Structure 1
Amino acid sequence: MQTIKGPAIFLAQFVGDAPPFDTLDGLAGWAAGLGFEGVQLPTNDPRLFDVARAADSQTYCDEIAGLLSRHGLAITELSTHLQGQLVAVHPAYDALFDGFAAPEVRGRPAARTEWAISQVKAAAKASQRLGLAAHVTFSGALAWPYLYPWPQRPAGLVEEAFAELARRWRPILDAFDEAGVDLCYELHPGEDLHDGVTFERFLAAVGEHPRASILYDPSHFVLQQLDYLAFIDLYHARIKAFHVKDAEFRPDGRQGVYGGYSGWVERAGRFRSLGDGQIDFVGIFSKLAQYDYPGWAVLEWECALKHPEDGAAEGADFIRGHIIRVAERAFDDFAGSGVDAAQLKSLLGTGGGR
């Protein structure tokens, strides 16, 4: 068994226009000062990381890694969540998602898709240059507007949506395979990959691709009322990244999972800072240790109530307190009898001579 690495922090929610949040150096110093040991880097803001440049330049990658190393930090994964979202966009969401794209492809859905695919492929090469084992992203969505089967979905609609999703992602997965990096989809409402069933649909459509992996975030499963501990039992072999994020679900007589179009503060299901929600992190860290999870525990701060800097400050200690330093030997080794092979046969009555 191996001990989970951490604590680490996803920087996306903390990037801003004022120091120390406006540069990678500033963010690194801030994160290290809170006790984090790793950072997950978003790739949509060139002030922090230029993914196209990183794909082409080992020198640039070495400079980024060196900058973080001076603060005592490692890179856990690169993130292309926003670019991955744009790999597949239903026309109903064109205007809302267009702002995620580079200015030169906005308003041109086909060009935007090609740009997004090139960005995620660049992240494969950049991850290889940085010596990373995993990458995190979103799948995008074509079927999401048809999530609830009313009006009745035409036969074949979902199958075609996943077939098209596979056509777009298969070449990207192949690029990650060539780079030796696992591609981890965050299973998230709003994405076609949002639970175990949809992940299985996608796996089947991409031929059980060995690089198709999961970014495990239990907060999204609480809001869906999915058993997030049983999920680990089912899919642990594909879980290669981990967002440590808390949530709560408190339905009442007026609203439940769908939330009644309420804002985050008023929703029955909402994200919370670590320790303020309902998630059983003792159970999660125990299962991940049991199944020999190979990666990092990365704080993703999202909370409807608490200030982000407070959530980050508390998060490092929270994660550190939950990481299980796995045992190097069995707890009952002290009582081992040390019998040899012949004695084993004798104990079982299978040694012959009877």
Structure 2
Amino acid sequence: MKTIKGPAIFLAQFVGDEAPFDSLANLAAWAAGLGFEGIQVPADPRLVDLERAASSDAYCDELRRTTEDAGVAITEISTHLQGQLVAVHPAYDALFDGFAAPPVRGNPEARTAWAIEQLKLAARASRRLGLDTHVTFSGALAWPYFYPWPQRPRGLVEAAFAELGRRWTPILDAFDEAGVDVCYELHPGEDLHDGVTFERFLDVVGNHPRANILFDPSHFVLQQLDYLAFIDTYHERIRAFHVKDAEFRPDGRQGVYGGYSDWIERAGRFRSLGDGQIDFGAIFSKMAQYDYPGWAVLEWECALKHPEDGAREGAEFIRRHIIRVADRAFDDFAGSGAEPEQMRRILGI
């Protein structure tokens, strides 16, 4: 069995214009100071030049030195925003356009091509950085039709997933060439948001070995999906892990859909670690049981708590939950030491 690596922290929610949040070097030192051992780095030009990282070993060596000198390792590069743009339904064009580089904004076809190229750059950058996992979103073509009223035309979902597979297959092939797993965060708003949709996606990408999962139980609490049974079902595909808490407290006025309430008023809310309802003891036990090979990465999102408090508390929370796996069975002391021939005699065979 393997001991989970960590604690690590996803930097996306902390990047800003003021120190210590204004550069990779400063963020790495800040994270190390809180007790984190790894950082998950968004492909944000303020932190990493994806094109240079894809083509230059010297630049990647510089990035590694920057983080290692601070005392942390890079766990993964994240392209959540770029992955979102691989597939955008026209209803969301205006809202998602700001995720793209300025030259392709207002041009959905050019934006999609740009996003696909960004993912391919990320594959090569991950390889040069010595990483074997990458985290992202799938994008969505069918999401506006997830609750069928009016009834969806028959075949609409199948057509959406066929197109999603057509767009992602060459990206997955690029990651396969780089020796890197693509870990999709299953997330409402994405076409890949639960086990059923992930299985649909596997079908359209030929069960691609690089199509894997970023497990984040908070999104399953808000969907009322059994996150422990999910691990039992999909553990072979879980290659990344966001440690994020959530709570779901429905009442007589609202439930899963939230009634368009702001986050602080919703029945389902993200919370800082330890403030929600998720059974992380059980999650970490299952991850150890199934030999999860990667990092435990804090993603801070909370409707109430200050992010710096959530980060500080989160490092210790994760450290406390990581199970140092046993190197022998607990009852070895009582072993009989029987040889094969003796075992046959014991069984009477």
Task: Please give the secondary structure, in 2, of the residue aligned with 1:208.
Answer: coil
Structure 1 residue 348: deviation in Å? 1.0
Structure 1: which amino acid aligns with 2:322? I
Q: Which residue of structure 2 lines up, in the alignment, with residue 349 of structure 1?
A: 348
Structure 1 residue 133: deviation in Å? 1.1
Q: Which residue of structure 2 lines up, in the alignment, with residue 305 of structure 1?
A: 304
Distance in 2, Cα, partners of 1:131 & 1:15:
24
Alpha-carbon displacement from aligned partner over 1:325-345 (angstroms, at most 9, x marks no partner): 000000000000000010111
Which aligned pairs between 1:283-322 and structure 2 lie closer than 5 A? Answer: 283-322=282-321
Q: Which residue of structure 2 lines up, in the alignment, with residue 27 of structure 1?
A: 27
Percent same amino acid among aligned pairs?
Answer: 80
Q: Which residue of structure 2 lines up, in the alignment, with residue 128 of structure 1?
A: 127
Q: Aligned pair count? A: 349
Q: Which residue of structure 2 lines up, in the alignment, with residue 222 of structure 1?
A: 221
Q: Is the 8 A contact 2:52 2:59 kept in 1?
A: yes
Give yes or no for the alignment of 1:142 onto 2:141.
Answer: yes
Q: Which residue of structure 2 lines up, in the alignment, with residue 168 of structure 1?
A: 167
Distance in 2, Cα, partners of 1:18 & 1:83:
25
Structure 2: which amino acid aligns with 1:222? V
Task: Please give the secondary structure, in 1, of the residue aligned with 2:13.
Answer: helix
Which aligned pairs between 1:150-229 and structure 2 lie closer than 5 A? Answer: 150-229=149-228
Q: Which residue of structure 1 lines up, in the alignment, with residue 104 of structure 2?
A: 105
Structure 2: which amino acid aligns with 1:147? F
Distance in 1, Cα, partners of 2:204 & 2:60:
34
Alpha-carbon displacement from aligned partner over 1:166-218 (angstroms, at most 9, x marks no partner): 00000000000000000000000000000000000000110100000000000
Structure 2: which amino acid aligns with 1:154? P
Give yes or no for the alignment of 1:243 onto 2:221.
Answer: no
Give yes or no for the alignment of 1:281 onto 2:300.
Answer: no
Give yes or no for the alignment of 1:48 onto 2:47.
Answer: yes
Where structure 2 has 5 or more consecutive residues not aligned to the other structure, the ranges are none
Give yes or no for the alignment of 1:336 onto 2:335.
Answer: yes
Structure 1 residue 72: deviation in Å? 1.2
Structure 1: which amino acid aligns with 2:221? V
Q: Is the 8 A contact 2:54 2:124 kept in 1?
A: yes
Q: Is the 8 A contact 2:245 2:276 kept in 1?
A: yes
Distance in 2, Cα, partners of 1:327 & 1:273:
30
Task: Please give the secondary structure, in 1, of the residue aligned with 2:301.
Answer: coil
Structure 1 residue 84: deviation in Å? 0.1
Q: Is the 8 A contact 2:29 2:71 kept in 1?
A: no
Task: Please give the secondary structure, in 2, of the residue aligned with 1:88.
Answer: coil
Over 3 Å off, 4+ runs: none
Distance in 2, Cα, partners of 1:325 & 1:312:
22
Distance in 2, Cα, partners of 1:234 & 1:97:
33
Alpha-carbon displacement from aligned partner over 1:51-103 (angstroms, at most 9, x marks no partner): 11100111100100010000111010000000000000000000000000000
TM-score (ref. length: structure 1): 0.98
Structure 1 residue 347: deviation in Å? 1.0
Range with bigger deviation, 270-279 or 17-26: 17-26
Distance in 1, Cα, partners of 2:78 & 2:119:
9
TM-score (ref. length: structure 2): 1.00
